[in-house]
Amino acid sequence: MRKSWWKILGVLLLVYTFIAGLLIEVPRNPQLQETIRNLFFHVCMWMGMMILFIVSFVRAIMYLRTNKHIHDIASRQYAGVGILFGLLGYLTGAIWMSYTWIDSNKSIFNSFDTIAREPKLIGAAIALLVYAAYLVLRDSIQDIDKKARISAVYNIFAFAMLFPSIWIIPRLLDSLHPGGSEGNPALDPGSASANMRLVFYPAIAGWTLIGVWIATLKIRMKIIHEQKLSQ
């Protein structure tokens, strides 16, 4: 194992998250009840996704400045793990909302039409689809240098699309999700108590470190693979 202290730190933070996340006292919110603990899991997926996309964006710029192939590989793998985290965030959100957003006066099918109009869901779907197109675009170009350059430029565009789709528009519109037209979707001091934040911030760090670990493994695998091909 290479440079393992931060990997151990990430695992320890997650162990802490899993234990403290289920045992600490949480606010008694009549709508959320115990599901408020999903803050340590569902929300952390999105925070991890944003951090991984930022890393991918930085590596894309570094590729364009230096033309070193390693930055292109890194940019691609960080984006891949970011998409994985985003999909997990979407799936966990779907589970969470089907127990807390369903209107008990309507059938599940009928309450779905308000849920489908959620600006946050649509924004997150747009962001993920833009990144999915990044993968498709990359694989459609044969020439290695062209592939690297075009996908680095597209990566910068995809990152720019995160601003309206998940950071600006969802905050302007009313929504069932916390942090609609007021406040912040994830870090609102009004919705999480102080001891929840004691678990929440380490949880973000832990999940992100695991994501970075997976990305570095994939980068190293890709490098070995390309060296084999060039032999």
Partner 1 sequence: MKKLITIFTFIVLAFFANAQNVKMADVMKESGKIYVVIAVMLTILGGLVLYLIRLDRKISRLEKNK
Q: Of these, 6, 33, 65, 172, which contacts partner 1 (CB under 8 A)?
A: 33
Q: Of these, 96, 154, 201, 213, which contacts partner 1 (CB under 8 A)?
A: 213
Q: Which stretch binds partner 1 (CB under 8 A): 6-14, 58-66, 117-125, 160-168?
A: 6-14
Instruction: Retrieve residue 49's tokens.
Output: 């996704």
- Note whether 2 binds partner 1 by CB under 8 A: yes
- Note whether 30 binds partner 1 by CB under 8 A: yes
In the block, residue with structure tokens 């490098």: 223
- Note whether 227 binds partner 1 by CB under 8 A: yes
- Note whether 168 binds partner 1 by CB under 8 A: no
175 within 8 A of 120, measured Cβ to Cβ: yes
Q: Of these, 28, 136, 194, 229, which contacts partner 1 (CB under 8 A)?
A: 28
Q: How far is CA 197 from CA 85, 158, 176, 191, 202, in A?
A: 21, 30, 22, 10, 9
In the block, residue with structure tokens 């603990």: 37
Residue with smaller CB distance to partner 1, 26 or 158: 26
Torsion of CA 216, 219, 220, 222, to 10 degrees: 160
Q: Which stretch binds partner 1 (CB under 8 A): 29-37, 72-80, 113-121, 189-197?
A: 29-37
Gap between the Cα atoms of 121 and 112, Å rounded = 12
Q: Where are the beta strands (DSSP E) in the chain?
A: none
C-alpha gyration radius of the chain: 20
Binding residues for partner 1, rule: CB under 8 A, are 1-2, 7, 11, 14-15, 18-19, 22-23, 28-30, 33-34, 210, 213-214, 217, 220-221, 224, 227
